[in-house]
Amino acid sequence: VTKIGVLTSGGDAPGMNAAIRAVVRTGLYHNMEVFGIMRGYQGMIDDDIVPMHSRSVANIIQRGGTILKTARSKDFFEPEGRKRAYENLKKHGIDGLVIIGGDGSFRGAQKFSNEFDIPCIGLPGTIDKDIAGSDFTIGFDTAVNTAIEAIDKIRDTADAHDRLFIIEVMGRDAGYIALHSGIATGAEHILIPETKTDLELVVDSLEEKERRKKLVNMIVVAEGDETGGGNEVAAIIKKRLPHLDTRVCILGHIQRGGSPTCLDRLIASRLGYAAVDSLIEGKHNTMIGIMNNKLHYTPLDKAVKAKQRISDEWMKIVKILAS
Ligand code: ADP
């Protein structure tokens, strides 16, 4: 492998820039030529491919978003689109790819590398932390810290007015942002897709706490919870406990942006460096993650969205600490 391409694809996540920087500089260190592919797979199809130099990635380690931009590419689902992408890579002489994205992007990479002889290395970049084969994903730590900062602020006003806030955080299939931010902010209840949500039990517990004169300020709910999310939870609580001043706050896209945390920058740097090493070693169609603080290699077709079991211990801790 002498010429490599790097791209970011699917949902953006803070820390992607740090990963791009690591891929580019490690590649250059090994005397490779490195190309940046714009807007994910669409840039491969449109030949939006630019040579990267050490200075191309200066001053980006601290920036959210992705300088290569990201996109969802309909054309890449089609064989003709992937063929065009391959011809463009060949034109530039690119013989290895690093894909920073989520499980959808890995499915695309898997298909592409089955059809054409281009080794692909995937790095998990998603705020949801929902990929099998990695304890961390690039962007999760930043997203959860952004959520904490916002929830702390909501708590101040909730407390001042004795209000109950239902706070919806991101996580369509995985409840990790809700679980971690909820524990870290002392939420009363945390409602996530991985566990059954019984709103009657939530209502009972709120009533019981009211009898004890415990002030309840916050319930954190993942957007993908079976209840349907913040608005749906609030509607039921308002109906069952009309005397409470219940409000909803949907944190939304602020969770995707912002300067990456130290942890995300470290993970991104380590994984970006490892991606180039792996291409040199001849690995292909592999996602690199981190498990138990060690690099962990998963075949791309196994790097799927994983509904991980949330340990009963965490759920018990949530309950005890909010009592
Ligand atoms: P994420 O990587 O964040 O999960 P998506 O699921 O939107 O994001 O996938 C990103 C892109 O990967 C898609 O827009 C498409 O171009 C490509 N892709 C996803 N699944 C496939 C597939 N089965 N075949 C070909 N390309 C795919």
If you write DSSP's letter for every residue of 229-258 in order, what string do you get?
SHHHHHHHHHHH-TTS-EEEEE-GGGGG-S
182 pLDDT exceeds 90? Answer: yes
Asked if residue 139 has its Cβ within 6 Å of ligand 1, the reply is no
- What are the pLDDT digits (tens) for 139-155? 999 999 999 999 999 99
Nearest CA to ligand 1 atom 19: 104
Whether residue 34 contacts residue 24, with contact meaning beta carbons closer than 8 Å, is answered with yes
108 pLDDT exceeds 90? Answer: yes
Q: Region 278-304: what's the mean pLDDT?
A: 96
Return the number of other C-beta atoms located less than 10 Å from residue 121's C-beta: 29
309 pLDDT exceeds 80? Answer: no
Rounded Cα–Cα distance for residues 320 and 188 (Å)? 10
Percent of the chain with pLDDT over 90: 93
Known binding-site residues for ADP equal: 21-25, 155, 186-188, 212, 214-216
222 pLDDT exceeds 80? Answer: yes
Compute the mean pLDDT over every residue in the chain, rounded to the nearest whole number: 96
Q: Which residue spans within the chain are E strands per DSSP?
A: 3-8, 33-37, 49-52, 96-101, 120-124, 164-169, 189-191, 218-222, 246-250, 286-291, 294-299
69 in the Ramachandran plot: left (φ > 0), alpha (ψ -120 to 50) or beta?
left
Nearest CA to ligand 1 atom 8: 10
pLDDT of residue 323: 85
Kindly indicate the confidence band of residue 215, based on its pLDDT and cuts at 50, 70 and 90.
confident
Alpha-carbon separation of residue 225 from 137, 194, 253 (angstroms):
21, 8, 18
Cα 74 to middle of ligand 1, angstroms: 8
Asked if residue 296 has its Cβ within 6 Å of ligand 1, the reply is no
Alpha-carbon separation of residue 134 from 15, 175, 296, 300 (angstroms):
16, 16, 7, 12
Helix (H, G, I), strand (E, B) or coil at 128: coil
Asked if residue 104 has its Cβ within 6 Å of ligand 1, the reply is yes
- What are the pLDDT digits (tens) for 20-76? 999 999 999 999 999 999 999 999 999 999 999 999 999 999 999 999 999 999 999
Q: Which residue spans within 251-323 are E strands per DSSP?
A: 286-291, 294-299
242 pLDDT exceeds 90? Answer: yes
Rounded Cα–Cα distance for residues 212 and 220 (Å)? 22
Kindly indicate the confidence band of residue 305, based on its pLDDT and cuts at 50, 70 and 90.
confident
Could you give phi then psi for residue 119, rounded to 5 degrees? -65, 135
311 pLDDT exceeds 90? Answer: no
State the closest ligand 1 atom to the C-alpha of 112, by its place in the atom list counted from 1: 25
Asked if residue 111 has its Cβ within 6 Å of ligand 1, the reply is yes
308 pLDDT exceeds 80? Answer: no
Kindly indicate the confidence band of residue 159, based on its pLDDT and cuts at 50, 70 and 90.
very high
Known binding-site residues for substrate equal: 126-128, 163, 170-172, 223, 247, 253-256
92 pLDDT exceeds 80? Answer: yes
pLDDT of residue 175: 94
Alpha-carbon separation of residue 230 from 148, 182, 218 (angstroms):
17, 14, 11
